[in-house]
């Protein structure tokens, strides 16, 4: 979700009227925007835009446009989509790019003089679109150029990494593409997009001047736009044609909203595309879709009149033709997020305003309940509290050291481990509760004794027979720590618990690295192991930096539920 | 001062003594009698008498000095082996029977008594004719008994238990006692004569008044009522020490629920009361159930914001249940039978099996949708979730998401708003709520719920929406479904007075023991 900043004055200029902050805030639901920051002195506004399917709203031009349409109640007309004359300029795509970065779209914007402010906005939109929508330039990237220097037709072609040399933005000497990838900051940052490509994409004009090396870097000469420039070329390349076309449409519309005249450019492909071998950009990319009015009604819970829906959708930028039961709708050219009639339904609701819908209480009767496991957990929690134990509630990502090494377990012991570790401290899912309770003991030697702690919670136990490679289990862990803590005391606690659970159990001597030999046992119920009990080995206590004796038990909870 | 106030100020020992005066009809009583009546130790009597005199409740009535006779170490020895004259006669008689005889020197050589004592004994015995000196200085015991030996024997026995007043003996005996008593220049004597000052005490006027309140036996102060006192009724005569009840009591650590979990318990029970059924799911999930089933495309930026933890080994689940995998794949690619255009990309079934740590509670909802849920039906889960985030004051390593679904024929945008209104009232006691358009990849329309909390003011309480048909239909659900999620941690943190989300899972026991708050 991108956050953008712009100036109130710029926004008002685009909107064509004044917009005090409160007024602006009242419009924000139209663009799913959230005000993050407002600096009164400068009029700078920071907005977070929520909808990742609406990149057209990631710029001040787009936000102003959506509100303008609402205020005037109908879509805006963009003549560059209507013109029938053949474009004066063209870009020729070379063979082979279908395997590297197949698509390109471009247009010119003239008659509008770029200001410092609008340049900042253009660059911000360029970055947000390429970074978030274009997956860090992988799917889509955008280039802006000074049109006056370029001699058409332009070629979008492939060259060998060492074949072409130009001065990239930010440098003063000519480098080969190979050198740019290894030396230039942008080459290093985005080079992975072109890894293993024997030939690299390049844009050059009919005089052989290099425009840019997409998606890495523009040329210093042609590809650097300054405030005061009034004739621009906008170009988008990428791997997803719809996204490439949409991105160009957004840029063309943003510039048109600022007053530029947009002239389309012809793109000639040597290979087939979804839009054919030759097309003119910008262009409409959405088809008319027929949607039953009923779909809107049932989604929104109100019987809508076709006329009203038409009005509502037009006030949100749609082209609409409504008959009695069917809506024929088309998204504006700067959007491409209509997948299902429910998307139209939401736009109807947004355009009408969510406040205009009267909430209706769901009336159907359902029975509420807790899972058997949760009920059993709650029963045992109450029991343990009655026995005087403090409940503990832990984070369950721990380190391997805590789960295995400090417990004295063999290094080969299996736990569910994270592959993309952020911090070793949170790299494993706990496989038992006890280490969580010992973390508390290590941190709390100054809390007065006795410490009687328990936790009931989830653990993940590696299990190669399970389809997920591990089982999520709920277990009870109990710790008693004080200068005279021993087996007998914790055994009493277990015994009382089992008595009230009406469960028979036996203890079978257990040899376990975490416990003192001869003072540990497996808890057996009907011959099945359901837990363990014992006095912690002094070595384990030393590993944890604990200086009181500790006796513990840990009990599987799923077993208790399965039986009852 | 009121007699009752005086009484209240009395130490139990003082009460005991005053009671003893009372028992003696307020006549003058000697300290030894007081000791006897009160059954107190001599030191306790003298201590209490001191206090009572200082308080002017008791005064000295008379003071008499008397002489008392007791045994010394030497006296005890005489009782054991006989006095020196007795020993001389006995030793000589025994010797004569065995045909042996002793000279003075011989007896001195036995070292039983110091020579000075023996000399005095020889003098006495010769004077009384109890011994005679034969040839060679041999001592012969005569038939004449020594009266002094017998008298000494009697006296030794008389005072062996406890000292006796000198005046209680006959003048004759008194003379003998004085002769055999320790005095300057003669330390080795069997008797000791000490002067004792005997005082008699009598209560003052106030003392008499106070003494009336003092009952013998009602005077022992105790701090603890015991079962014995209750059994034998002796509690009636006890005085229970009064406590300073304004002092803080000692601390204990009671058995107690964890405060954050207590908060979640409350939420859980409210949801059940609203007709929601609990659902559960695994901590380790596949990307399929965590994201694909929720119509989050494998390439989409909405997925990039869900930076997830991947499982190291095994990396992939063996299978994804059919027909769900195929149906979800078809929906992603071209919409399948859902009436959607789909995302229009090639779905990667391999990636669907990638194992991760559950990143959102909605994964549990997806699994529920795919397992023949009830219609109408309401479900909730409190799911532990994991995000690949730096841990800080607002990000815990893992956290709970409270999420759920509502299935039914009557589900639409308005009933969604209705449900959220109930949540606002039940979960945040909010009378006012606002709905804002929101974006979630799996719902359309989507809503953000803002409420005016009575204490916290306007806050975001949760997000919700109607599941896209691209989510429900591939999982076999044909009715509309609400998906909702609540963000309640902030309310819990404010109630508990903490500002760092990590403290919800603190390892500091002192903090856990003292963390408290009321969740209304």
ipTM computed for the complex:
0.93
Indicate the fold that domain A372-563 takes in CATH.
BirA Bifunctional Protein; domain 2 (3.30.930)
Q: Do B414 and A32 touch (CB under 8 A)?
A: no
* Closest CB from B278, B314, B435 relative to A369: B278
Evaluate if residue B217 carries a pLDDT over 60.
Answer: no
Q: Among residues of chain B, what percentage have pLDDT more than 70?
A: 97
Cβ-based neighbours of A440, under 8 Å, separated by 6 or more: A392, A394, A451, A453, A479, B507, B508, B509, B512
User: Closest Cα of chain B to A56: distance in Å?
Assistant: 15
CATH code, residues B260-514: 3.30.930.10
Distance of CA A43 to the CA centre of its chain: 30
* Closest CB from B277, B344, B438 relative to A50: B438
What residues in B contact A343, CB-CB < 8 Å? 444
What residues in B contact A467, CB-CB < 8 Å? 317-319
What residues in B contact A298, CB-CB < 8 Å? 412, 480
**pLDDT at position B129, please?**
83
Partner residues linked to B133 by β-bridges? B139
* Closest CB from B299, B300, B338 relative to A340: B338
A522-531, B68-77, B101-110, B126-135, range with greatest mean pLDDT: A522-531
Helices (H), B274-359: 287-290, 301-304, 324-334, 349-352
Which whole number is the average pLDDT over B405-431?
95
B260-514 matches B3-64+197-217 in CATH topology: no
**pLDDT at position B1, please?**
59
Q: What tokens does B329 get?
A: 């794949």
For B439, half-sphere exposure in the C-beta direction (CA atoms, 13 angstrom radius) is 23
Closest-approach residue (CA) in chain B for A287: B341
Which whole number is the average pLDDT over A401-419?
93
**pLDDT at position B133, please?**
80
Which whole number is the average pLDDT over B489-505?
89
The answer regarding whether domain A79-281 maps to CATH 3.40.50.1820 reads no
Best probe of the A interface among B355, B445, B512, B514, by most A CBs < 10 A, is B445
Evaluate if residue A415 carries a pLDDT over 90.
Answer: yes
Evaluate if residue B214 carries a pLDDT over 80.
Answer: no
Q: Do B437 and A354 touch (CB under 8 A)?
A: yes
Which one has a higher pLDDT value, B116 or A442? A442
- What pLDDT band is residue B38 in, cutting at 50, 70 and 90? confident
Beta strands A528-536 and A261-268, pairing class = unpaired
CATH code, residues A3-72: 3.30.56.10
Evaluate if residue A563 carries a pLDDT over 70.
Answer: no
What residues in B contact A56, CB-CB < 8 Å? none
CATH code, residues A289-352: 3.30.56.10
What residues in A contact B277, CB-CB < 8 Å? 366-369
**Residue B173: in which H helix or E strand, if any?**
helix B171-179
Closest-approach residue (CA) in chain B for A458: B283
User: Closest Cα of chain A to B221: distance in Å?
Assistant: 33
Which whole number is the average pLDDT over A421-435?
94
Q: Do B435 and A354 touch (CB under 8 A)?
A: yes
| Residue spans per domain, chain B | 3-64+197-217, 73-189, 260-514
Q: What tokens does A260 get?
A: 């530029």
Considering only A90-104, A155-169, A396-410, B10-24, which range has the smallest mean pLDDT?
A: B10-24
User: Closest Cα of chain A to B225: distance in Å?
Assistant: 26
Considering only A8-17, B129-138, B490-499, which range has the smallest mean pLDDT?
A: B129-138
Of A475, A480, A421, the closest CA to residue B357 belongs to A421
- Between A and B, how many CB-CB pairs are < 8 A? 282
Q: Do A444 and B510 touch (CB under 8 A)?
A: yes
What pLDDT, in 10s, does the model give residues B270-328? 999 999 999 999 999 999 999 999 999 998 665 655 588 999 999 999 999 999 999 99
Q: Do B256 and A392 touch (CB under 8 A)?
A: no
Which whole number is the average pLDDT over B375-404?
91
Q: Where are the beta strands (DSSP E) in B217-338?
A: 220-222, 238-240, 277-278, 284-286
Closest-approach residue (CA) in chain A for B413: A300
Evaluate if residue A109 carries a pLDDT over 60.
Answer: yes
* Closest CB from A363, A388, A467 relative to B255: A388
Which whole number is the average pLDDT over A278-288?
93
Q: How far apart are CA A477 and CA A452, in angstroms?
A: 11
Q: How far apart are CA B360 and CA B303, in angstroms?
A: 12
Which one has a higher pLDDT value, A43 or B15? A43
- What pLDDT band is residue A347 in, cutting at 50, 70 and 90? very high
The answer regarding whether domain B73-189 maps to CATH 1.20.59 reads no
* Closest CB from B265, B278, B418 relative to A359: B418
Q: Do A338 and B279 touch (CB under 8 A)?
A: no
At B157 the three-state DSSP class reads helix
Q: How far apart are CA A246 and CA A252, in angstroms?
A: 10
A289-352 matches A79-281 in CATH topology: no
What residues in A contact B279, CB-CB < 8 Å? 371
Closest-approach residue (CA) in chain B for A347: B445
**pLDDT at position A344, please?**
96
What residues in A contact B446, CB-CB < 8 Å? 346
Q: What is the average pLDDT value for chain B, to the nearest integer?
A: 88
CB burial of residue A238 (10 Å; 0-12, 13-18, 19+): buried
Which whole number is the average pLDDT over A487-508?
96
Q: Do B311 and A447 touch (CB under 8 A)?
A: no
Which whole number is the average pLDDT over A261-286?
95
Q: What tokens does A501 get?
A: 């659970």
What pLDDT, in 10s, does the model give residues A35-79? 999 999 999 999 999 998 899 999 999 999 999 999 999 999 999
Which one has a higher pLDDT value, B131 or A359? A359
Per DSSP, the residues of B439-462 read: -BTTEEEEEEEEEEETTTEEEEEE
Q: Among residues of chain B, what percentage have pLDDT more than 90?
A: 44
Q: How far apart are CA B297 and CA B351, in angstroms?
A: 11
**pLDDT at position B25, please?**
79
Best probe of the A interface among B253, B356, B419, by most A CBs < 10 A, is B253
What residues in A contact B377, CB-CB < 8 Å? 366
Q: How far apart are CA A433 and CA B150, in angstroms?
A: 90
Q: How far apart are CA A486 and CA A476, in angstroms?
A: 19
DSSP symbol at B337: G
CA-to-CA dists, residue B287 to B4, B37, B112, B191, angstroms = 85, 93, 108, 107
| Cis before B445? omega within 30 | yes
What residues in A contact B397, CB-CB < 8 Å? 395, 397, 425-426
| Residue spans per domain, chain A | 3-72, 79-281, 289-352, 372-563
Q: Do B468 and A340 touch (CB under 8 A)?
A: yes
- What pLDDT band is residue B376 in, cutting at 50, 70 and 90? very high
Helices (H), A331-486: 341-352, 372-386, 400, 434-443
- What pLDDT band is residue A324 in, cutting at 50, 70 and 90? confident
* Closest CB from A368, A373, A396 relative to B271: A368
What pLDDT, in 10s, does the model give residues B71-114? 888 888 888 888 888 888 888 888 888 888 888 888 888 878 88
Indicate the fold that domain B3-64+197-217 takes in CATH.
Arc Repressor Mutant, subunit A (1.10.10)
Of B480, B478, B502, the closest CA to residue B489 belongs to B502
**pLDDT at position B33, please?**
84
């Amino acid at each position: 979700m991108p956050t953008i900043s712009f100036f109130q004055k710029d926004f008002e200029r685009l909107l064509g009227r004044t917009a005090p902050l409160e007024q602006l805030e009242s419009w924000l639901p139209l663009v799913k925007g959230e005000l993050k920051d407002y600096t009164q002195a400068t009029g700078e506004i920071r907005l977070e835009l929520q909808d990742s399917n609406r990149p057209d709203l990631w710029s001040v031009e787009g936000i102003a446009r959506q509100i303008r349409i609402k205020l005037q109640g109908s879509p805006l007309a963009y003549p560059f989509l209507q013109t029938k004359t053949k474009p004066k300029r063209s870009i020729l795509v070379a063979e082979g790019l279908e395997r590297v970065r197949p698509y390109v779209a471009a247009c010119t914007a003239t008659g509008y003089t770029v200001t410092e402010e609008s340049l900042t906005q253009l660059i911000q939109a360029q970055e947000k679109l390429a970074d978030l929508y274009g997956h860090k330039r992988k799917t889509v990237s955008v280039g802006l150029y000074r049109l006056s220097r370029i001699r058409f037709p332009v070629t979008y072609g492939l060259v060998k990494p060492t074949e072409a040399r130009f001065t990239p933005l930010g440098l003063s000497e000519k480098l080969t593409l190979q050198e740019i990838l290894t030396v230039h900051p942008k080459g290093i940052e985005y080079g992975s997009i072109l890894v293993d490509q024997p030939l690299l994409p390049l844009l050059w004009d009919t005089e052989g001047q290099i425009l840019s090396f997409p998606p890495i870097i523009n040329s210093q000469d042609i590809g650097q736009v300054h405030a005061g420039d009034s004739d621009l070329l906008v170009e988008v390349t990428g791997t997803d044609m719809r996204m490439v076309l949409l991105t160009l449409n957004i840029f063309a519309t943003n510039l048109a909203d600022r007053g530029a005249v947009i002239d389309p450019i012809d793109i000639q492909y040597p290979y087939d595309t979804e839009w054919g071998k030759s097309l003119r950009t910008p262009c409409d990319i959405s088809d008319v879709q027929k949607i039953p009015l009923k779909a809107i009604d049932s989604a929104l819970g109100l019987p809508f009149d076709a006329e009203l829906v038409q009005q509502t959708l037009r006030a949100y930028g749609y082209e609409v033709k409504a008959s009695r039961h069917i809506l024929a709708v088309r998204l504006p050219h700067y959007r491409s997020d209509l997948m299902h009639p429910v998307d139209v339904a939401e736009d109807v609701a947004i355009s009408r305003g969510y406040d205009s819908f009267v909430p209706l209480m769901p009336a159907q009767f359902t029975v509420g309940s807790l899972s058997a496991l949760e009920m059993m957990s709650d029963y045992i929690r109450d029991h343990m509290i009655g026995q005087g134990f403090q409940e503990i509630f832990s984070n369950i990502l721990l380190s391997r050291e805590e789960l295995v090494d400090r417990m004295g377990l063999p290094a080969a012991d299996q736990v569910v481990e994270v592959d993309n570790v952020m911090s070793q401290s949170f790299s494993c899912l706990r496989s038992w509760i006890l280490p969580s309770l010992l973390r508390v003991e290590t941190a709390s030697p100054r809390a007065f004794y006795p410490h009687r702690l328990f936790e009931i919670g989830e653990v993940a136990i590696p299990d190669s027979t399970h389809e997920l490679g591990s089982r999520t289990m709920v277990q009870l862990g109990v710790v008693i720590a004080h200068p005279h803590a021993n087996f007998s005391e914790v055994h009493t606690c277990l015994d009382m618990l089992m008595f009230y659970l009406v469960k028979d159990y036996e203890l079978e001597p257990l040899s376990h690295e975490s416990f003192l030999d001869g003072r540990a046992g497996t808890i057996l119920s009907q011959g099945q192991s359901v837990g363990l009990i014992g006095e912690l080995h002094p070595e384990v206590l030393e590993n944890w930096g604990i200086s009181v004796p500790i006796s513990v038990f840990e009990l599987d909870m799923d077993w208790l539920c399965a039986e009852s | 001062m009121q007699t009752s106030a005086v009484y209240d100020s009395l130490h139990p020992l003082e009460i005991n003594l005053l009671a003893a005066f009372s028992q003696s009809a307020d006549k003058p009583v000697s300290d030894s009698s007081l000791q006897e009546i009160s059954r107190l130790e001599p030191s306790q009597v003298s201590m209490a008498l001191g206090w009572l005199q200082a308080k002017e409740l008791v005064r000295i009535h008379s003071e008499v000095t008397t002489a008392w006779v007791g045994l010394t170490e030497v006296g005890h020895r005489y009782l054991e082996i006989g006095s020196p004259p007795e020993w001389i006669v006995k030793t000589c008689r025994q010797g004569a029977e065995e045909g042996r005889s002793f000279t003075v020197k011989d007896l001195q050589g036995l070292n039983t008594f110091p020579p000075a004592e023996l000399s005095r004994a020889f003098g006495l015995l010769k004077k009384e004719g109890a011994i005679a000196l034969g040839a060679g200085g041999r001592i012969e015991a005569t038939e004449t008994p020594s009266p002094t030996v017998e008298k000494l024997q009697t006296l030794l026995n008389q005072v062996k238990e406890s000292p006796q007043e000198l005046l209680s003996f006959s003048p004759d005996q008194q003379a003998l006692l004085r002769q055999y008593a320790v005095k300057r220049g003669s330390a080795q004597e069997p008797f000791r004569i000490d002067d004792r000052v005997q005082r008699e005490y009598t209560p003052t006027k106030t003392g008499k008044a106070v003494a009336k309140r003092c009952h013998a036996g009602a005077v022992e102060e105790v701090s603890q009522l015991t079962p014995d006192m209750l059994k034998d009724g002796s509690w009636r005569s006890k005085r229970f020490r009064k406590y300073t009840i304004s002092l803080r009591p000692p601390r204990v650590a009671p058995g107690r629920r964890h405060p954050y979990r207590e908060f979640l318990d409350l939420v859980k029970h409210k949801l059940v009361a609203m007709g929601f059924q609990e659902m559960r799911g695994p901590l380790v999930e596949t990307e399929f159930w965590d994201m694909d089933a929720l119509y989050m495309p494998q390439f989409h930026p909405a997925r990039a914001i869900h930076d997830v933890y991947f499982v190291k080994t095994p990396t992939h689940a063996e299978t994804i249940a059919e027909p769900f995998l195929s149906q979800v794949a078809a929906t992603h690619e071209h919409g399948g039978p859902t009436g959607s255009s789909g995302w229009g990309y090639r779905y990667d079934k391999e990636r669907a099996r990638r194992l991760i740590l559950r990143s959102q509670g909605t994964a549990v909802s997806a699994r529920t949708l795919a397992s023949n849920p009830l219609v109408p039906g309401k479900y909730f889960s409190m799911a532990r979730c994991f995000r690949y985030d730096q841990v800080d004051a607002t990000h815990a390593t893992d956290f709970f998401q409270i999420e759920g679904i509502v299935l039914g024929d009557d589900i639409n945008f308005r009933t969604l708003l209705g449900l959220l209104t109930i949540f606002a009232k039940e979960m945040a006691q909010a009378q006012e709520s606002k709905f804002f358009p929101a974006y979630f990849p799996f719902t359309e329309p989507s809503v953000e719920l803002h409420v005016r909390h009575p204490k916290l003011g306007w806050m975001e309480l949760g997000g919700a929406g109607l599941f896209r048909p691209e989510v429900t239909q591939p999982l076999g659900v044909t009715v509309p479904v609400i998906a909702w999620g609540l963000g309640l941690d902030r309310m819990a943190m404010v109630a508990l007075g903490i500002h760092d989300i990590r403290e919800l899972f603190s390892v500091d026991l002192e903090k856990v023991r003292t963390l408290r708050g009321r969740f209304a």
